[in-house]
Structure 1
Amino acid sequence: MLLGSAAAWVLNSKAFAASSCDDHIVRIAAIIAPDTMNPFATWAAPWPTFFTYDTLVGVDAQRHDDRKGFAKSWSVADDKLTWTFKIWPGMKWSDGQPATARDAAFTYTYLRGSIGTPNELNIGFNNTDGLDNVVSITALDDETLQIVTKNPTRWPIDNYTLIGPEHVWKDVSYADARSTFRNDPPLIGTGPMIVAEFQQGQFVRLTPNQYFRTGQPVTAGMIIHIFGTADPIAQGLKSGSLDYGVNLTVAQWAELTKDPDIVIGESRIEQRNFLAFNTLSGDGAGSTKALQDPAFRDAIGYAIDQKAIVERALRGHGDPGIGLVMPVAADYYSDLSDIKRHFDLAEAERRLDAAGYRDTNGDGVREDKEGHSFRLELITGTFGNVFEMPIAVMQLVAGWLGKLGIPVSVTQLDPGALTARTAAPADGGVGWDLLVAGTWLTRSPHDLLAPGSSKQIGGTNRSYWRNDKFDALLSEVDVTVELKRSQELVDQAARLIYIEAPYIMLCYPFALEAHRKDCFEGWGDAVSMSSYFPLDRLKPVPAP
């Protein structure tokens, strides 16, 4: 989103102008692009919807005993196939109706029933991924949910499906759920904050859930301001019109360290910034077939200096990119030292020559195998819920490719346009050549490998790459519980996609965030802020 009239309207709105210290409404901001509050139809709205809906368990509840989701406890039988979940007794939806195991069973059964139909629910945050390994989903009573799987898997506790109320969704067809049903506010959920108003491209307003199972939050609500760049976020923090901001740039973060009323934070996170190649042929393909050639992509990999990206673009606030697995995922990380490319423009040129991509007419521009001079379009921007990338990254990448005789033009897109442009061709994706962007998923083995999954093309898989062997490895990962075997499979898959090079990992940026300390207390750092923590338990700073 380019800053203009919309940003000016928000900055001057009553929501921004009021003081959080006076009305006790938490004002936060991020670079996100929610287009609907329907989790079955979009990937772009996890942060607003995570405050309203609970996951059954999720990774956060496994790491922190005080952050349970829809289930209060869970266990797996000796057969490693039968999972039992105890739902919070007496829990209610925000409209006062009982929230039970039957709602959880409905949510999963609703998804599972769409598998194989023309309107399979496979395009949104709530999707069918993993449900093909499920034998049965049963509400044994109001407080007991049982999930039986075909093979041992951690999916029953690791999945991030948002549990919805049966009385809202039971009459929504699959066709509507994946497209036209917007799930307009006020939403009905079991989370601490309920989405009460949504103005696309501007803000999301949330109110405290009076029925929240651990007690109604003590703040008066929350407003999430939506931006396409980090500039107004930094400005809002400095002026006091924002209480918390994420997606800060290095320069903004450094400037905010000088303000005594602001606390800054820096942490390793799961974000991966990458250069993706459009590997499609046919509809949606890029401008040259070279993008489909692993030898071409491999050669480009030698022209990317990841250390320079961290030093010059991130000013040291990140780790150099290598493979799919980021350093924070310590159980699965490998530096791939035996196959790792190194920055060497001469080697990149040699490999391009050997692969048949030469400058045959001496004009300084290489030609592809069809005899066409390279003129590549690099699109870039920020997908929702990731940290903004400095423009210097694109300048460096375009500069290195230019030195190889491959001219690159850069097109900057706002989050909504970027999502639309990189959608699957069947969903309106438009041909592009290169993409520089970021993705932020969990450190679960499935999510580590998701950018290579053929099932995620047009979603997490931004390169459109397909590989049967990779898909088979991912399928085995999904039914593997034993850590050592899971590590072996992830390593094999990570090596395969590194060699095929549909992506060149640029860097793993650190999270740069900040909050003011004058209105609220109880803040956590970025790493501890999975789902809605700690915003569910903030307290107003006592009056002096």
Structure 2
Amino acid sequence: MSIQTRRLLGTSLLLTSLMFGASQALAEVVLHRGNSGEPQTLDQANTSIDIEAFILKDLYEGLTIYDAKGEIVPGAAESWTISDDGTVYTFKIRENAKWSDGSPVTAEDFVYSIQRVQNPETAAKYANILYPIKNAEKANKGEAKLEEIGVKAVDEKTLEVTLERATPFFLELLAHQTALPVSKASVEKNGKDFVKPGVMVSNGAYKLESHVPNDNLVVVKNESHWDAANTQIDKVVFYPIDDQAASVRRFEAKEMDLVYNFSADQINRLKDSYGEQVRVSPSASTYYYVFDTRQEPFSDVRVRQALSMAVDRDFLANEIYSGAQLPTYSLVPDGLGGYEAAKADFAEMSQLDREDKAIELMKEAGYGEGGKPLAIEIRYNTNPNHERVATAVADMWKNTFGATVTMTNLDVASHYAYLQEGGAFNVARAGWVADYADAENFLGLNVSTNTSFNYGKYNNPEFDALMAKSYTEGDADARKKILHDAEVMLMRDQPIAPLMSTANLWLVSDRVTGWQDNAANEHLSRFLRVAE
């Protein structure tokens, strides 16, 4: 071989190597996320469940966000100041914050978005999240004009928010999906179609590329995002699979990198096979059953107390969830924001003593042996764990009271839509994850005016009065005492039966780095990395 031939061959090999290296460097980085259900909506004003939040927080960015550790950090706002009395927040929006169409994110976009959420015509399910803002609640109830809400664009990049009263957890509220902004220009131009692929204009790390209901939803990197240079994943594919066994199989086949929620009876097997890829982390959340207090016999407090007492929570937590959940007798997770939860008065009784007391209460109410027959329907969202819980509870009620129990299940979106729209039921499964670290977030679910989340339509003026008093109490310790008293009343009346403090269950592929377990269960795709 001549010197010239060797030179040409060497040059060819070098070019081939460079081209191969370039193609590798340019390879699209894709994250495949199992999301355990189809979202009801991609309109942040009407969102209500976590599987929607995971998508929306990739698409949009609030004034504040949660980082990978689950801690509040600046988002679209680079900084803020708070008045001495804690009632006025002034946010400086990033100069380079842009929408996916390249237009600037402005203070007026946030004013418009907050007013839109509080507009009664929007019928936002989570409007109460922003009630701490001055006149927000009044506007939402039609008692004040939208222009009277305490949000003002001082200039294009400065937003001033005035509160009704000091709210220590306000920055956390702003990271909730309901507080995510919309592009005023896009919504005014496109109306309800602003959520559609090819139409949506977003300001988060990603933009919506496609959505095939019950199949997949694809978001791609938003090059207009202010921190796009640090977003390493180019595309995220969300799979709305509520079949947990199918999700696990796809994870094991390396078709999905993340799986949210899997059957708890698989924990030990999966840990044996996948070790630290199985993530079980504490969550500030409660798994509970709610009773429809509008109809007999669930309108009778004795019936509700008896049914709650008869549930063996230890069995549910240990046998069904393999210890991944903890039994609970309070709605508020203990220790949340320094709060001491109020437990039901039967919490310290043995299960046998609870059952004896439950039978006594049920007889007083005229049901059970020698009384009227007890027929109960349990509703739950489709999920093997929820089915096993419902089956176990049905067996407990049958054995204790001779009840006839049937079960009905719907997909997660339909289940919660039915409850939020006021559909009648007997007993329904529900869960609540803290939106912010304050007991009010849980107790406020049961205020009679909370039409979205007071599924059982519990109505107790004394409870409502205590909750109202908590909103005006400025002393932190005194406020916690008021909330505690409210929970004592709630646990006495048992419109809901808290069953377990839930854990976050994830499968995280060893291809994924940057993952950090956190109680807030916040995992933005922009903070993750995927090794190809």
Question: Once the 2 structures are TM-superposed, how far is the Cα of residue 126 of structure 1 from its aligned partner?
Answer: 8.8
Does the alignment pair 1:166 with 2:166? no
Aligned residues of 1:439 and 1:460 also touching (Cα < 8 A): no
Question: Once the 2 structures are TM-superposed, how far is the Cα of residue 328 of structure 1 from its aligned partner?
Answer: 6.2
The equivalent residue for 2:441 is 447
The equivalent residue for 1:15 is none
Structure whose residues are more often helix by fraction: 2
Worse-superposed segment, 479-488 or 226-235? 479-488
Pick the aligned partner of 1:509 from 502, 508, 514.
502
Cα distance in 2, alignment partners of residues 464 and 481 from structure 1: 29
Cα distance in 1, alignment partners of residues 344 and 303 from structure 2: 21
The equivalent residue for 2:213 is 200
Q: Which amino acid aligns with 1:191?
A: G
The equivalent residue for 2:141 is none
Q: Which amino acid aligns with 2:443?
A: L
Aligned residues of 1:154 and 1:479 also touching (Cα < 8 A): no
Q: Which amino acid aligns with 1:351?
A: L
Cα distance in 2, alignment partners of residues 514 and 146 from structure 1: 41
Does the alignment pair 1:31 with 2:36? yes
The equivalent residue for 2:312 is 305
SS of the counterpart of 2:272? coil
Cα distance in 1, alignment partners of residues 485 and 128 from structure 2: 28
Uncovered stretches (5+) of structure 1, i.e. residues with no partner: 1-20, 282-288, 361-365, 368-372
The equivalent residue for 2:197 is 185
Does the alignment pair 1:290 with 2:297? yes
The equivalent residue for 1:320 is 327
* TM-score relative to the length of structure 2: 0.83
Worse-superposed segment, 93-102 or 247-256? 247-256
The equivalent residue for 1:102 is 108
SS of the counterpart of 2:526? coil
Worse-superposed segment, 294-303 or 434-443? 434-443
Does the alignment pair 1:74 with 2:80? yes
SS of the counterpart of 1:236? helix
Q: Which amino acid aligns with 1:297?
A: R
Pick the aligned partner of 2:408 from 394, 411, 419.
411
Cα distance in 2, alignment partners of residues 82 and 140 from structure 1: 13
RMSD in angstroms over aligned alpha carbons? 2.8
Worse-superposed segment, 247-256 or 292-301? 247-256
| Mapping of residues 78-89 of structure 1, within 5 Å | 78-89=84-95
Question: Once the 2 structures are TM-superposed, how far is the Cα of residue 413 of structure 1 from its aligned partner?
Answer: 2.0
Cα distance in 2, alignment partners of residues 488 and 152 from structure 1: 18
Cα distance in 1, alignment partners of residues 450 and 188 from structure 2: 26
> Could you say if the C-alpha distance between residues 507 and 120 of structure 1 is closer, same or farther in structure 2, counting changes exceeding 3 Å?
same
Deviation readout 1:247-299 (Å, 9 max, x if unpaired):
11223332222335861111111231111111125xxxxxxx11111121112
* TM-score relative to the length of structure 1: 0.81
Deviation readout 1:139-162 (Å, 9 max, x if unpaired):
111221111123222464232211
Aligned residues of 1:61 and 1:68 also touching (Cα < 8 A): no
> Could you say if the C-alpha distance between residues 262 and 302 of structure 1 is closer, same or farther in structure 2, counting changes exceeding 3 Å?
closer
> Could you say if the C-alpha distance between residues 474 and 155 of structure 1 is closer, same or farther in structure 2, counting changes exceeding 3 Å?
farther
Question: Once the 2 structures are TM-superposed, how far is the Cα of residue 444 of structure 1 from its aligned partner?
Answer: 3.0
Worse-superposed segment, 52-61 or 494-503? 52-61
SS of the counterpart of 1:86? strand
Q: Which amino acid aligns with 1:218?
A: Q
> Could you say if the C-alpha distance between residues 468 and 131 of structure 1 is closer, same or farther in structure 2, counting changes exceeding 3 Å?
farther
The equivalent residue for 2:490 is 497
SS of the counterpart of 2:41? coil
The equivalent residue for 2:12 is none
| Mapping of residues 425-504 of structure 1, within 5 Å | 425=422, 429=423, 431-442=424-435, 443-457=437-451, 459-480=452-473, 482-504=475-497
Question: Once the 2 structures are TM-superposed, how far is the Cα of residue 358 of structure 1 from its aligned partner?
Answer: 4.6
Q: Which amino acid aligns with 1:211?
A: S
Pick the aligned partner of 2:224 from 191, 211, 219.
211
> Could you say if the C-alpha distance between residues 103 and 43 of structure 1 is closer, same or farther in structure 2, counting changes exceeding 3 Å?
same
Cα distance in 2, alignment partners of residues 226 and 334 from structure 1: 35
Cα distance in 2, alignment partners of residues 325 and 107 from structure 1: 30
Deviation readout 1:438-491 (Å, 9 max, x if unpaired):
23232333322233133433x332222222333333334445564323322321
Aligned residues of 1:261 and 1:516 also touching (Cα < 8 A): no
Q: Which amino acid aligns with 1:53?
A: Y
Cα distance in 2, alignment partners of residues 123 and 528 from structure 1: 21
The equivalent residue for 1:6 is none
Cα distance in 2, alignment partners of residues 514 and 471 from structure 1: 41
| Mapping of residues 218-257 of structure 1, within 5 Å | 218-257=232-271
Aligned residues of 1:197 and 1:205 also touching (Cα < 8 A): yes
The equivalent residue for 1:18 is none
SS of the counterpart of 2:249? helix
Q: Which amino acid aligns with 1:298?
A: Q
Question: Once the 2 structures are TM-superposed, how far is the Cα of residue 320 of structure 1 from its aligned partner?
Answer: 0.4
Aligned residues of 2:344 and 2:492 also touching (Cα < 8 A): no
Q: Which amino acid aligns with 2:385?
A: M
Deviation readout 1:52-90 (Å, 9 max, x if unpaired):
11222256699636x422222222211322211121122
Aligned residues of 1:204 and 1:223 also touching (Cα < 8 A): yes
Deviation readout 1:81-113 (Å, 9 max, x if unpaired):
22111211221111100012221122113334x
> Could you say if the C-alpha distance between residues 452 and 185 of structure 1 is closer, same or farther in structure 2, counting changes exceeding 3 Å?
same
Aligned residues of 1:121 and 1:127 also touching (Cα < 8 A): no
The equivalent residue for 1:4 is none
SS of the counterpart of 1:536? helix
Cα distance in 2, alignment partners of residues 522 and 171 from structure 1: 38
Question: Once the 2 structures are TM-superposed, how far is the Cα of residue 410 of structure 1 from its aligned partner?
Answer: 1.4
Aligned residues of 2:37 and 2:241 also touching (Cα < 8 A): yes
- Identity rate of aligned residues, in percent? 18
Question: Once the 2 structures are TM-superposed, how far is the Cα of residue 171 of structure 1 from its aligned partner?
Answer: 5.5
Q: Which amino acid aligns with 1:236?
A: R
Aligned residues of 1:54 and 1:69 also touching (Cα < 8 A): yes
Cα distance in 2, alignment partners of residues 388 and 456 from structure 1: 30
> Could you say if the C-alpha distance between residues 330 and 80 of structure 1 is closer, same or farther in structure 2, counting changes exceeding 3 Å?
closer
The equivalent residue for 2:54 is 47
> Could you say if the C-alpha distance between residues 62 and 220 of structure 1 is closer, same or farther in structure 2, counting changes exceeding 3 Å?
closer
| Number of corresponding residues | 482
Does the alignment pair 1:137 with 2:142? no
Deviation readout 1:490-509 (Å, 9 max, x if unpaired):
21221111111011111112
Aligned residues of 2:279 and 2:505 also touching (Cα < 8 A): yes
SS of the counterpart of 2:338? coil
> Could you say if the C-alpha distance between residues 132 and 374 of structure 1 is closer, same or farther in structure 2, counting changes exceeding 3 Å?
farther
